[in-house]
Amino acid sequence: MEILPTLEKNYLPDRDVKASVIWLHGLGADGNDFAPIVPQLNLSLDFGVRFIFPHAPAIPVTINSGYVMPAWYDIKQVDVDRHVDNEQLQESASRIHDLIDREIERGIQSTRIIVAGFSQGGAVSFEAALSYEQPLAGIMALSTYFATVGTIKINAIQQSIPILICHGEHDPVVSEALGKRSRASLEKLGFDPEYHSYPIEHSVCPQEIEDIGNWISRVLKSG
C-alpha cells in the first residue's frame, strides 16, 4: 500500500531535524487543519521538530448518510460506545506505522517521535502508537476516545510512554465522558496519562495550545 500523502512543516526549515510529530486530523478535515498551530507552540529551536500532517483517504461515512469524505475509518453509529469499523481503524494505524518507519529511515530515533491526533485521528493514534514495535516519545490525544481498547494488542515496549489527553468540557461531538473513559482505561492498563480539560466544544483553545507546547517540550527534553 502506498504511503499516505502528507503536509510537512519543520519548526525551523533551515535546521537539522531531530524529532518528529505525526499529527492526524479529524473526520472531514485534512492535513492542513492543524498546521497553522505549529508556530504557536513556542518550541525551543534546539528540538528541531518536523511536523507531519497526513491526509486521510476519502471513504463513505455511515453517520453522514454514506457521504464520501476524508476519514480514517467509518463511524456506523454515534453513541456513547462509538460503533466504528475496527478493521479500517487498524488499517489506518498500520499506515501510520509506515510513516513512523519512514521517519526512522530519515534518521529520527523512534524515541523522538510523537504520534498525535484530534477526534478520529486521536483514536488512530492510540492504536498506532501503543501497538508499535519500537519505543516512541509520546501520544497526544485531543478531543478523542480509545476506540480499540477492547481489541488492541499493546506492545509492552510502550508501557512507560508519556500520554497527553486534552478534551473540551462542552464537546457536543465527542463527549468529555469519552475522554475521561479513555483516561480510566489507560490507567487500568498501567499507563499514567496526563489529562487536561477546557471550557470549549469540539476544538482547541489558546490554553490548550500552550499546554501542548509545554508537554512536547517536556517529552523531548527528557527523551
pLDDT tens-digit profile of 22-50? 999 999 999 999 999 999 999 998 899 99
Catalytic choice (92, 119, 125, 175): 119
Mean pLDDT, range 144-168, rounded to an integer? 97
Catalytic choice (33, 171, 175, 182): 171
Query: Does the active-site annotation cover 202?
Result: yes
Rounded Cα distance between 134 and 162, Å, is 14
Q: Tell me if the pTM is above 0.75.
A: yes
Helices 120-131 and 86-105, axial angle in degrees (round to 10): 60
Q: Are 158 and 132 in contact (CB under 8 A)?
A: yes
Q: For residue 137, what are the contacts with CB-CB under 8 A and spacing of at least 6?
A: 19, 110, 111, 112, 113, 114, 161, 162, 219, 220, 223
Query: Does the active-site annotation cover 167?
Result: no
Using a pLDDT cut of 70, give the percent of the chain over it: 96
Mean pLDDT, range 202-219, rounded to an integer? 98
pLDDT in tens, 58-99: 999 999 999 999 999 999 987 656 789 999 999 999 999 999
Q: For residue 188, what are the contacts with CB-CB under 8 A and spacing of at least 6?
A: none
Catalytic choice (83, 202, 211, 217): 202
The one-letter amino acid code at 33 reads: D
What mean pLDDT value characterizes the chain?
A: 95
Query: Does the active-site annotation cover 170?
Result: no
Residue 15: the pLDDT is 65
Mean pLDDT, range 128-150, rounded to an integer? 97
Q: Which CATH class is domain 6-222?
A: alpha beta
